[in-house]
Amino acid sequence: MICLDRTWRTIFIVGRSNNSRTNNLLGHESRVYGDILLGNFLDTYKHLSLKMLLGITWPYEHCNAKYILKTDDDCYMNIVSLILWLSEYHTQQGTDPLYIGKVQKNMAVVRTKSHRYYVSRSVHRGDFYAPYVSGGGYLFSGHLLSRLYKVSRHSRVFPVEDALLGRFMRILKVQPRHEKRFL
């Protein structure tokens, strides 16, 4: 996650490990560089939504960023190109809410219990997710943080992180926008 303002700050959001040595190293890294946000949950695929929630809560409480960029650790982002694009967008569009990435539409909810994307009907009733941007990388306006934070506190969480953020954005009436810079 990167909080973009006049400057930027990179934060690595991670959960705890079953390995105490790894946890100690993460704690050391956090103390030395101040760039790790350590969640109080096991760092597993099923907990990506908890990371996303932490990625909303922390900047809401600690940043005054114009934009929030989330990328996976195996993704590359050309920050210079992105900042130039955002500067132009900000000049032309001003405070219009922005939620961009690779848009996914009409994505079916997986109901097979053994599948890693499984979501029960009790958590998500519909057969399809609201349109969302896929989780490899996305960006949204910082001024949405307070509203996202409030919505996230009153919503049921399911393990498909990017679709969950799409649900929050739909509640806020913010439409995802496809941006070719995100694959």
Query: What are 7-49's pLDDT values in tens digits?
Result: 778 899 999 999 999 999 999 999 999 999 999 999 999 999 9
- Within-domain flag for 111: yes
- Domain containing residue 97: 67-178
pLDDT at 26: 93
pLDDT at 3: 55
For the chain, how many structural domains are there in total?
Answer: 1
Question: What average pLDDT is seen over the chain?
Answer: 91
pLDDT at 14: 96
With 70 as the cut, is the pLDDT of residue 6 above it?
no
- Within-domain flag for 128: yes
- Within-domain flag for 116: yes
Share of the chain above pLDDT 90, in %: 72
- Within-domain flag for 74: yes
pLDDT at 65: 86
Dig out the tokens for 136 from the structure.
């490899």
Rounded distance between C-alpha atoms, residue 56 and residue 50, angstroms = 10
Find, among 125, 123, 151, 144, the residue nearest to 67 by Cα: 144
Q: What is the DSSP string of 14-54?
A: EEE-S-HHHHHHHHHHHHHHS-EEEEEEE-SGGGHHHHHHH
Confirm if 38 and 14 have CB atoms less than 8 A apart. Answer: yes
pLDDT tens for each residue of 84-123: 888 888 888 877 899 999 999 999 999 999 999 999 999 9
- Within-domain flag for 31: no
pLDDT at 94: 73
- Is 0.75 surpassed by the pTM of this model? yes
pLDDT at 120: 94
With cut-offs at 50, 70 and 90, classify the pLDDT of residue 55: very high
With cut-offs at 50, 70 and 90, classify the pLDDT of residue 182: confident
- Within-domain flag for 41: no
- Within-domain flag for 7: no
pLDDT at 4: 53
- Within-domain flag for 71: yes
